[in-house]
């Protein structure tokens, strides 16, 4: 077995998005523009209403998927096709924007802690113009594997328990075939078999974890080398995300991600013409 090592450590940078929501941008910043198939990773965390109350008013997307995973708080979402709902603590929304959608995400609270992640995942050319869709699951629908020294929540992908039984996340039928885990390690080691050539990262959001004999600090992402096995040690919480590279040109203009400049220009025209 070949253990995954650290290729790069990236520290999230302070940023803002939407109507002034303060966040930490991890993927999508100068040190890591994107990590095919992952285009962006933000962590938003604050118990100060002024940092998040403006939310993310209506905005368009085309050509990729947005993933919102909540640790604390509530976020309401709605789109121009009549779909709406609430993402609560422990829940996930995996939205495939496809050919185009206009949606908003607004806090369902005026005080308290708002904490979560938004991940952008690319789509291959053949799926960029598919019909939009949602996969939404509450906390109770996300399976949890209890470890002797912690817990793993399985949002997407699958892992085996000590008896060899598979535990599979509810998010399915994604082109990048992702694994998205929320690891909560209380002590000792965590060993995870992985598809050897899948691209991946570990993002530490609480506590202390080490990988490849290197200590991660809260707010740091470890970009992983290829390998069959990932080993983490310590006492901390992290998201572990891996996926199959799309390996196609990435041309991005804000919330549009296509394969060519011509397709971007068409996306702008379609949006302006009200075709989303």
- The pLDDT tens digits of the residues spanning 8-65 come to 999 999 999 999 999 999 999 999 999 999 999 999 999 999 999 999 999 999 999 9
Query: What superfamily does domain 6-272 belong to in CATH?
Result: Jelly Rolls (2.60.120.10)
- The pLDDT tens digits of the residues spanning 247-265 come to 999 999 999 999 999 999 9
Domain residue spans in the chain? 6-272
- The pLDDT tens digits of the residues spanning 142-201 come to 999 999 999 999 999 999 988 889 999 999 999 999 999 999 999 999 999 999 999 999
One-letter-per-residue 3-state SS of the chain: CCECCEEEEEECEEEEECCCEEEEEEECECCECCECCEEEEEEEEECCHHHCCCCEEEEEEECEEEEEEEEECEEEEEECCCCEEEEECCCEEEEECCCCEEEEEEECCCCCCEEEEEEEEECCHHHCCCCCEEEEECHHHCCEEEECCEEEEEEECEEECCCCCEEECCECCCCCCCEEEEEEECCCEEEEECCCCCEEEEEEEEEEEEECCEEECCCEEEEECCCCEEEEEEEEEEEEEEECCCCCCCEEECCEEECCHHHHHHHHHHHHCCCC
Query: Could you give the percent of the chain with pLDDT greater than 90?
Result: 98
Give me the pLDDT at residue 19, please. 96
Q: Average the pLDDT over 99-107 and give the result.
A: 97
């Amino acid at each position: 077995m070949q253990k995954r090592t650290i290729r790069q450590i990236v520290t999230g940078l302070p940023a803002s998005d939407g109507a002034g929501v303060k966040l930490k941008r991890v993927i999508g910043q100068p040190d890591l523009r994107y990590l095919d198939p992952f285009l962006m990773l933000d962590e938003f965390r604050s118990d100060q209403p002024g940092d998040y109350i403006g939310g993310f008013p209506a905005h368009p997307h085309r050509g990729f998927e947005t993933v919102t995973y909540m640790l604390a708080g509530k976020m309401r979402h709605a789109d121009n096709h009549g779909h709406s709902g609430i993402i609560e603590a422990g829940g996930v929304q995996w939205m495939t924007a496809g050919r185009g959608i206009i949606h908003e995400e607004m806090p369902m609270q005026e005080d308290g802690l708002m904490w979560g992640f938004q991940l952008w995942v690319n789509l291959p050319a053949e799926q960029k113009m598919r019909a939009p869709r949602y996969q939404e699951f509450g906390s109770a629908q996300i399976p949890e594997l209890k470890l002797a020294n912690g817990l793993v929540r399985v949002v997407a992908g699958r892992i085996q328990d000590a008896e060899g039984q598979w535990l599979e996340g509810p998010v399915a039928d994604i082109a990048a075939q992702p694994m998205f885990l929320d690891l909560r390690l209380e002590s000792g080691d965590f060993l995870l078999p992985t598809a050897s050539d899948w691209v991946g990262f570990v993002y530490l959001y609480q506590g202390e974890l080490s990988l490849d004999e290197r200590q991660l600090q809260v707010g740091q992402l470890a970009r992983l080398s290829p390998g069959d096995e990932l080993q983490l040690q310590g006492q901390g919480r992290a998201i572990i995300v891996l996926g199959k590279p799309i390996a196609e040109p990435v041309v991005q203009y804000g919330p549009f991600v296509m394969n060519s400049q011509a397709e971007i220009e068409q996306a702008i025209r379609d949006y302006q013409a009200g075709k989303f």
